[in-house]
Structure 1
Amino acid sequence: MGGQDKFWKLQRASGYLSPGPLPLPILGTLWCFGFGWHQGTLFSAKAYGKIFTVWVGHMPMIVVNGFHPVKHVLINHYEETSWRITTPFLRDTMNGKGILFSSGRCWKEQRLFVMSTLRLLGLGRKSIEHCVKEEASHMVAFFASKRGKPMDPFFSTFHAVANVISSMVFGHNFCTEDETFCKLVECIEYEANFFLSTFHLLYETFPWLMCHLPGPHQKAFSCLEFIHSFVRNEIRWHKEKKKTEDPRDFIDFYLDEISINKGDPESTFDEVNLVHVVYDLFMAGTDTVASTLRWALLFMVVHPDVQEKVQMEIDAVLTPFQCICYEDRKQMSYTNAVIHEIQRFKYVLVAGNYRLCSKDTTMLGFPIKKNTVIIPDIASALYDPEQWETPHQFNPNHFLDKDGHFFSRDAFIPFSMGQRLCLGASLAKMELFLFLTNLLQAFTLQLPEGVKELNTTPAKGRFVVQPYPYTICAVPRKVTAWREGGLLPK
């Protein structure tokens, strides 16, 4: 009878919510999705409508599906949906600190400070563009060192993106041989893998038990501690040198803010929050951009006609000796369209970040209680058949008018929208354009000899959607010009 009571109790509870698949005790509605979440097929609007309910165990989660419903919730209900969900794992790791997983006053103060400080450090200006271009040149040099032989672009793309963030946050970057940096990459990757693992689900369901048992979740904790320890060491180094230097990077400015708010008992500025904010900047600003860049390189090989058109446009706008600037994107409509289409077609998050409803409200005609989890499915907006002519095909024409000129689309929201809009959106756009165009100006990307095709399906079980590991060949295009520029070995 106990099992039957739970079953009927669950059915009664689901009757007050938006429609959805039948929830079962313990399993909830995970049985509908084969216990796995896959990009673009996570939730079915055809079966359940634009707003529906899924269950993780006995916890209901309201899914908002399609561009207009997602926009309505994130813009018209921004106050109710700006709070973050707190699960046992997030409670034990993030403790409501930083930006990504915080809410209320902490989130508002930290976000405002980060926005203003990043602008001071050059976000959106020529100073940060210089840093991105420098990393682009290092990446070109690395590709050139392979002399057209098969290579995996994973580490070089991650290294370039991470060094841009590192320059802003720490005031320095890393060489590729740095052991600490290699460990940092390993830990960030492991964290991203763990979030959609079975052991993560087990920890969220049985935290009181799992915290005492061995398993991958324990490694996730140790990886997080390594990252935090690395940041704490940087903070100590900054505090020592700060006595003789003016603020020049994010940590310096944050330490000044701690001093300014020292007498305020309600201040959220302290070294614990600083550690979490730096962690958030790295997690949000490296894996996502690096993954998008790897998708871009993959699609240039899979679609050589697209690669050729991009290279023709680069050659038409620039001379072989001319450096590419972010401003050049305005003359490269096709290249700009290709980059936007890659971001749309291979959106790098499973469904966007989950929200926690901060008060009782009504959304899209359904009553939503306080503390209910809301999932504005960003991926569903990027695949919405009402917004895109061929939503499940790679098609740069989505962003080109009849005359071949670039234009943006309202439904293009890979950086979300509303109060939780991605802080680094402008930097990510700059990085993707400069990294990709610099590589395609210097090289033609090809399949290795004997390889007939590459896998374009996303690797399963990841919070950040990545391609499966692959190798490509970067064949130099303009050997004389690049050698004279010092980028190719002679």
Structure 2
Amino acid sequence: MFLYSLVATMGLNGPGTTLLFVLLTILFIKWFHKPKQPWKSRLPPGPSALPILGNLFQVDRRATKKSLMKLGEQYGPVFTIWLGSCPAVVLCGHEAVTEALIERGHDFGGRYVLPVFKTLSNDYGIASSNGERWKQIRRFTLSTLKNFGMGRKSIEQRNQEEAQFLVTAIRNKKDTPFSPNLFLRFAVSNIICSLVFGDRFDYEDKRFLTLIEMISENMRVLSGPWIQMYNNFPTIMDFLPGPHKKLFQNVADLLNFIKQMIQSHKESLQKDFPRDYIDSFLIKMEEEEHKHDSEFIHMNLLWAIMDLFFAGTETTSTTLQWAIQILAKYPQVQEKIHGEIDEVVGSCRRPTVEDRAKMPYTDAVIHEVQRYIDLAPMGLPHAVTKDVEFRGYLIPEGTCVLPLLSSVLKGTSQWETPDKFNPNHFLDENGDFKQSKSFMPFSAGKRICLGESLARMELFLFLTTLLQNFVFKPVIDRKEIDISPVISGLADVPNDYEFYFISR
């Protein structure tokens, strides 16, 4: 009766409930007959877990980070939860996260591939790979993106040009209120598209619109409770309908688009004149085609592009969405940035990266936006690369490790007002910008986001260009703007509001 009641609470009726009941029963029988693992007693402490279900009832699927933060208060900075029948060691607080990811980065530098990503990418590409594959593809990707301008003046100019396209698109709305989210995704995505595909897309391109909408939908699904259920019970969820099926279909459609782009590049490839990331990878594939163990194969190209396209589109554009909402809610902050822009940049030229050093308040606001919104509360899961002794516990090789970035970005010992938006967190007593070792929105250590420098440039140039040209004014009363996430999972997804963009 317990199992049948459980599946009924998941919102399934009729045949769906019966099927899930049967599958859970089979899994329970298998669990009780499997050999016990001697290392379990050396794992960090944590809440008691049920067979098969793990800590399903102690972790709120709609507010995972809050549940983990609360468990950290009870069990300490290193504790264990069970994702179904798999243990996950949670690192909570600045000291524990720093010790693991930075001081012992090699031991904690593996990637634990969640079942949903295993189903999707099968460990190909950058984000979900490990070992020699990850090292080679990441090293090649960083080198190639730098060759095509990442971190250099040329990519800064692309950002400046794209920011002007964004301004023009907003001006064409002629002071009518609208949600800027789609335009922000177009603009940010075009930067990574120029590096990977060698070109940008027009904002009126219907194919581009479809791709961007699919990426946005995927982020929402990945951050929702159904995917958390999938990661706990993949065998069961594969048999059931739900949003995860839409995710898989969207990814299949995105892969088809990428395959078409790769084929087009193959047909026009000139080995002596690579145009972009795809050309460079294709050339590397041909150079290593006779190596039986080469990692430069079609599937790694396909998924490296998917990783870059997804991360390069969604994370920065979502941060900009949050920034506009926060600045509309706090007009006094917006006014101070306007004053700094007027003083340093003026209205006759485009903002540059060099301006950032002369604009400490603007820089502080951007950093505080990233800290406050806590976009990726847990980042992507890590794994230990060998059996690891850590703070008196034994973590077996391959065990999932969840570095709770929220506990660093919102830690009470590191920040004066951790739960409030406060740019003074990044300003000293003289009003100069100050760094913080607890600023980890891009994670830390060996698995830190490879696009960090590009994202930082995009955030500064896009936001300052928008504020150079517009005042953000909400349609509703600014006090009613809710700057807490509407969905919190893999990412914290903001509410969707309309704004007036009033020309300055």
TM-score greater than 0.5 by the shorter chain? yes
- 1:381 equivalenced with 2:405 (yes/no): no
| Deviation by residue 1:259-314 (Cα, 9 ceiling, x = unmatched) | 11111111100121101000000122211101111111011101100000000011
50, 65, 68: which one pairs with 1:24? Answer: 50
Q: CA 1:277 to 1:244, structure 2 compared with 1: closer, same or farther past 3 Å?
A: closer
- 1:60 equivalenced with 2:93 (yes/no): no
Secondary structure of the structure 1 residue equivalent to 2:82: strand
- 1:444 equivalenced with 2:478 (yes/no): no
Cα distance in 2 for partners of 1:36, 1:444 equals 34
Structure 1 position 452, deviation (Å): 5.4
- 1:416 equivalenced with 2:443 (yes/no): yes
115, 119, 136: which one pairs with 2:142? Answer: 115
CA contact (8 A) 2:486 2:494 kept: yes
264, 269, 272: which one pairs with 2:291? Answer: 264
CA contact (8 A) 2:220 2:493 kept: no
Moved over 4 A (4+): 2-7, 9-15, 38-41, 449-452
330, 347, 357: which one pairs with 2:374? Answer: 347
Structure 1 position 162, deviation (Å): 0.2
Cα distance in 1 for partners of 2:138, 2:212 equals 25
Alignment correspondent of 1:469: 496
- 1:151 equivalenced with 2:178 (yes/no): yes
Worse overlay, 83-92 or 137-146: 83-92
Cα distance in 2 for partners of 1:309, 1:352 equals 32
Alignment correspondent of 2:63: 37
Cα distance in 2 for partners of 1:143, 1:309 equals 22
CA contact (8 A) 2:322 2:373 kept: yes
Q: CA 1:11 to 1:456, structure 2 compared with 1: closer, same or farther past 3 Å?
A: farther
1:200-215 → structure 2 map (5 Å cutoff): 200-215=227-242
* Runs of at least 5 residues in structure 2 that lack an aligned partner in the other structure: 1-24
1:313-352 → structure 2 map (5 Å cutoff): 313-352=340-379
Cα distance in 2 for partners of 1:16, 1:349 equals 29
CA contact (8 A) 1:291 1:465 kept: no
Cα distance in 1 for partners of 2:256, 2:112 equals 25
CA contact (8 A) 2:65 2:489 kept: no
Q: CA 1:40 to 1:304, structure 2 compared with 1: closer, same or farther past 3 Å?
A: farther
| Deviation by residue 1:360-409 (Cα, 9 ceiling, x = unmatched) | 11112221112211111112111111111111111101111100000111
Cα distance in 2 for partners of 1:88, 1:430 equals 33
CA contact (8 A) 1:458 1:468 kept: yes
**For residue 379 of structure 1, what is the amino acid of its counterpart?**
S
120, 123, 140: which one pairs with 1:96? Answer: 123
CA contact (8 A) 1:38 1:460 kept: no
Alignment correspondent of 1:458: 485
**For residue 392 of structure 1, what is the amino acid of its counterpart?**
D
TM score, norm. by length of structure 1: 0.92
Secondary structure of the structure 1 residue equivalent to 2:438: coil
1:133-152 → structure 2 map (5 Å cutoff): 133-152=160-179
- 1:280 equivalenced with 2:280 (yes/no): no
Aligned length: 475
Cα distance in 1 for partners of 2:329, 2:345 equals 25
Structure 1 position 321, deviation (Å): 0.8
Alignment correspondent of 2:159: 132
Secondary structure of the structure 2 residue equivalent to 1:54: strand
| Deviation by residue 1:438-481 (Cα, 9 ceiling, x = unmatched) | 1111111112266752111102255221211111111111xxxx
Alignment correspondent of 2:278: 251
Structure 1 position 109, deviation (Å): 0.3
- 1:236 equivalenced with 2:263 (yes/no): yes
CA contact (8 A) 1:169 1:251 kept: yes
CA contact (8 A) 1:360 1:368 kept: yes
Worse overlay, 347-356 or 111-120: 347-356
TM score, norm. by length of structure 2: 0.89
Cα distance in 2 for partners of 1:87, 1:334 equals 39
Alignment correspondent of 2:198: 171
Could you tell me the percent identity over the aligned residues? Answer: 38
Alignment correspondent of 2:113: 86
Q: CA 1:12 to 1:31, structure 2 compared with 1: closer, same or farther past 3 Å?
A: farther
Cα distance in 2 for partners of 1:41, 1:472 equals 33
318, 333, 345: which one pairs with 1:291? Answer: 318
Q: CA 1:429 to 1:109, structure 2 compared with 1: closer, same or farther past 3 Å?
A: same
Worse overlay, 128-137 or 50-59: 50-59
| Deviation by residue 1:58-83 (Cα, 9 ceiling, x = unmatched) | 22110011112101001232222222
CA contact (8 A) 1:10 1:23 kept: no
